[in-house]
Amino acid sequence: MKQNLKSNTMKMKFVMCIAVALLSMNLMAQSSQKTVAEVMQHTGLNDQLTQLDDMIQSKMEEKKSVFSKPEQFEQFKKIMTSGMNSTNAKKFISEYLEKYSNEDTLKMVVALYRDPFMQEITRIETESSTPEIQKEVPAFFENLKIIPPSPVRVKQLTNLNNEMKGTEITVKMIQNVILAMLKGVNNILPADKQISDTELKSDMISFFKPEFTQQMNNQLIAYSLFIYRDVSIEKLNRYLEVWNAPTGKYCMDQIFKAYNYSFSKMAEKTGGSMSELDTSRK
């Protein structure tokens, strides 16, 4: 009987150890999800990604003339918008951060963005994309023709764009959207006119020549003149120092990788659904 009691006690201890281990793993996962949700909120990623739906919708209309039948276009648009949308973008970016980011460092990123100075800059960045503020853009650039920005200001914003990987993120995002669209257009062509996925990727890469990247870089810096128009040189220098610091560099590195992961996943998901267009083509 003592033997059975000892055996049962050992079993109970073993079960308790397993239960504690599983509970600990669950708590860690919940903590990670909570931290990632805070990162998404405080960095402004949620607000930025919400704008994706309008961008995709706009791109769809540009391709409408390629389709000979309205129903083909509607099906193409449905596939694109069901794969490339803000909900999926947020989901995959969160997924990347949960899987590949360091929990403690992400908490440092959250603490960084809770600083009143960072909250002020984030608010300025977020508000600049609202419809009401966007109405000011044409007049602002017209005024720049009369009073050009100082070289110091342009240099500051060039450095900021480099530190925040603005051009890299934008080009990667556009590449993935275009690749998904090319797969859709490719699928509605006659079989003898279609090209392989490898050729599609090669054609897309050849399209993104250095001149395109430079043009995108110039556009982002020009738009930054508008975004930070009311931010002083001193505050902008302080903002640059944030991204030069280790936590800032880690934050930007993870956001860049998360964007690339997210848009690659969405392009893969969307491209995989493009075969459904074959039915409408026939």
Domain boundaries, the chain: 33-281
Integer angstrom CA distances of residue 14 from 1, 19, 26, 72, 261: 20, 9, 18, 60, 40
Integer angstrom CA distances of residue 227 from 123, 140, 215: 11, 11, 18
One digit per residue, pLDDT tens: the chain, 282 residues? 544 444 444 444 444 443 333 333 333 433 488 899 999 998 888 888 888 888 788 777 777 777 778 888 888 888 888 888 999 999 999 999 998 888 888 898 899 999 999 999 999 998 888 889 999 999 999 999 999 999 999 999 999 999 988 898 888 878 877 777 777 677 767 778 888 878 877 877 777 778 888 999 999 999 999 999 999 999 999 999 999 999 888 888 888 889 889 988 888 888 777 767 654 444
Single-letter amino acid, residue 207: F
Residue among 147, 166, 146, 140 at smallest CA distance from 225: 140
State the Cα–Cα distance between residues 166 and 169, nearest whole angstrom. 5
Take residue 257 and report the two structure tokens written for it.
Answer: 């990788």
pLDDT value, residue 281: 43
pLDDT value, residue 14: 41
pLDDT value, residue 278: 53
Mean pLDDT, the chain, whole residue set: 81
Measured in whole angstroms, the distance separating CA 25 from the mean position of its chain's CA atoms is: 28
For 23-40, what is each residue's pLDDT tens digit?
A: 333 334 334 888 999 999
For 79-136, what is each residue's pLDDT tens digit?
A: 888 888 999 999 999 999 998 888 888 898 899 999 999 999 999 998 888 889 999 9
Residue among 173, 217, 163 at smallest CA distance from 48: 173
Residue whose entry in the numeric block shows the structure tokens 């956001």: 255
Take residue 254 and report the two structure tokens written for it.
Answer: 């993870």
| 255, 82, 72, 205 alpha-carbon torsion, rounded to 10° | 20
pLDDT value, residue 228: 96
